Amino acid sequence: MEFFTTVWQALRESDPQEKGRLVERLYTNLAQDRFTFAHEEPVLEAQTPSYAQIATVVRPRDVPKRKHFDNPEGQGVLLHAIAHIEYSAIDLALDAAYRFRHLPKAFYMDWIEVAHDEVRHFEMLAELMEKVGVRYGDYAVHSALFDAGQKTAGSLLERMAVVPRYLEAAGLDANPRIMQKLRRYPQTPMIEAIVEALEVILEEEVDHVRKGDRWFKYACREAGVEEDVYFEIIERYYPGLEGKNLTLNVSARRRAGFACDELKRMGAKECE
């Protein structure tokens, strides 16, 4: 079997269940060294996200607002929004494994492992959505993560900076805030189940960001640049946002590879 062809098939699959099966096979076969790697084959370009076949794509400001988590409708909107992030993360991990060639096998194993985890996260959320009468695609979604992948398609350094180290790391900050809001409501089995799912996702996303940090630093060494190029890259893609996040999850980011001087530059008041 050829690796990149197989990854492309999984990347472009829109049905969540079939995508999950394809990622499971990728994960198993890569771990067992069953693939050949045709590094010289052309890299195909996706013009639209795979989920565009099953969900309406709108601008980020037009997606349903997440509020009132004490009723099935509000819980469904919240779960759908998080599930969309996880689905998008599956494709971003697959895209990294597909797009960037001539790298150590550990790179491909890392990103297929991430895709494998993200499938499990999506499936966990899909089960909860089903309990409140929602399926993936019932609500409109945005393509911000897909767009970030498109914009950084030509550079491993920029991809690792923007996607895992900036966008996914922001999830480490946002996740505890969502859990805090949920815990303010009277505790029901559904709210408790959502919090439990978010706790699992938060812990495992630390490892995903850590993988991104590892390959960002690898790309810095290969390019002969200092690691603080990260801030230049983020300022180029997201101007004016440096130091604006005053609610950094310092502990999680430290475990994911961020240095204290970086975190203080981002706005952290304390770091050890």
Residue 115 has pLDDT above 80, yes or no: yes
| Residues in contact with 127: Cβ distance below 8 Å, sequence separation at least 6, in sequence order | none
Tell how far CA 245 is from the center of its chain.
Answer: 19
- Count Cβ atoms within 10 A of the Cβ of residue 177 and give its class: 0-12 exposed, 13-18 middle, 19 or more buried: exposed
Task: Assign domain 3-266 to a CATH class.
Answer: mainly alpha
Total-model pTM: 0.96
CB count within 10 Å of CB 11 equals 24
Residue 217 has pLDDT above 70, yes or no: yes
- pLDDT value of residue 113: 98
Residue 161 has pLDDT above 60, yes or no: yes
Residue 108: band (very low, low, confident or very high) from pLDDT cuts 50, 70, 90: very high
Residue 243: band (very low, low, confident or very high) from pLDDT cuts 50, 70, 90: low
The answer to whether 113 and 148 have CB atoms below 8 angstroms apart is no
State the amino acid at position 2 in one-letter form: E
**CA separation, residue 228 to residues 225, 261, 262 (Å):** 8, 10, 8
Residue 164 has pLDDT above 90, yes or no: yes
